[in-house]
Amino acid sequence: MPSPTTAPTVLSYAYFGPEGTFSEAALRTVVPDAVALAQSSVDATIDAVRTGAVDIGCVPIENSVEGGVPATLDGLAVGDPLVVVAEVVIPVTFVLAARPGVRLADVTRVSTHSHAYAQVRRWLHASLPGVAYVPATSTAASAQALAGEQAGGEPAGFEGAICAPFAAARFGLDVLAEQIEDRAGAQTRFVLLARPGSAATPPPTGADKTSLVVFLREERPGALVEALEQFVTRGINLTRIESRPSGDALGRYCFSIDCDGHVADARVGEALMGLHRVCERVRFVGSYPRADAGHTILGSGPTEQAFVDAQQWLDRIRGGGAV
């Protein structure tokens, strides 16, 4: 009988559904067989974590073509704090799927999520000129609707679903065309979110990333520069910066920022303290291993060892020792 103290914690999961979304695919790369609940929206997925309904939620945060996912960025910026505990990058490729027997020439209306639509516009224009676009709440929803019609449910209202290959497979659809994305090599980045209390921040691995939301103190020419200088002067590379409206008025923003390094690193800790001092508010949104497991690219700034040396030097000075 296993000891209670060594029993592995079974975590519960949610993702931005329905079944067959890229979000589910991203989550499956981390926990292939876990029980995971499909949620109807990014907001609902985030809420499921906040309320404690699940331990971990998986949502998209950034796409290499369309940019940041507003619902995720805003969900992390306001409300009870959440932290990112892992990131997953998924290559994005789309197929045009249809009910068995439907041919390409039969497709006059296609449906998919607006982000996916944006990524196949040119292909559609060239291959299906004049095709109508029916918005869907997700790429998987369009596939699911065709499957429902196939099963005798109500008409989907379109013939073609633009979705992930595995969604076509899961819902028993034919693939009329594959790799239809306008830019090969597109990627979407997903994050796994947890409550700060429920899961420890992953320890430093040497190739980490830290996420923040920064609210500037005042609207003036130098406020953003003053904040970014906190990274520059410490040689910390920014890997993402997204402005997001604060919602108060046009022209008021907060900034969602990812930087290289872990909150436990001296340089990152010092930069965070610097931001805390010069900004209206800073929200820490987690430190976690980089998906690419790459080496942290330092700027021309000092090395981590230089930070350690500087602290030791200061300690000696303060102790009255050699200078």
> What mask, x for binding its own copies by CB under 8 A, covers residues 22 to 41?
--------------------
190 beta partners:
60, 88
Q: By CB under 8 A, is residue 126 in contact with its own copies?
A: no
- Cβ proximity to its own copies, 8 vs 251, nearer residue: 251
Cα angle 182, 183, 187 (rounded to 5 degrees) comes to 120
Query: Between residue 279 and residue 298, which ones bind its own copies under the rule CB under 8 A?
Result: 283-285
**Cβ 34 to its own copies shortest distance, Å:** 23
Single out the segment in contact with its own copies by CB under 8 A; choices: 1-9, 29-37, 169-177, 245-253.
245-253
**Cβ 226 to its own copies shortest distance, Å:** 8
Single out the segment in contact with its own copies by CB under 8 A; choices: 27-35, 100-108, 171-179, 243-251.
243-251
Contact 219, 252 (CB under 8 A): yes
- Cβ proximity to its own copies, 103 vs 187, nearer residue: 187
Query: Between residue 46 and residue 85, which ones bind its own copies under the rule CB under 8 A?
Result: 62-68, 70-71, 81, 83
Q: Which residue among 114, 126, 153, 205 contacts its own copies (CB under 8 A)? A: 114
Q: By CB under 8 A, is residue 207 in contact with its own copies?
A: no
Q: By CB under 8 A, is residue 204 in contact with its own copies?
A: no
Q: By CB under 8 A, is residue 104 in contact with its own copies?
A: no
Q: Which residue among 12, 137, 170, 215 contacts its own copies (CB under 8 A)? A: 137
Q: By CB under 8 A, is residue 116 in contact with its own copies?
A: no
CA 79, CA 178: separation in Å to the nearest integer?
A: 40
Q: By CB under 8 A, is residue 136 in contact with its own copies?
A: yes
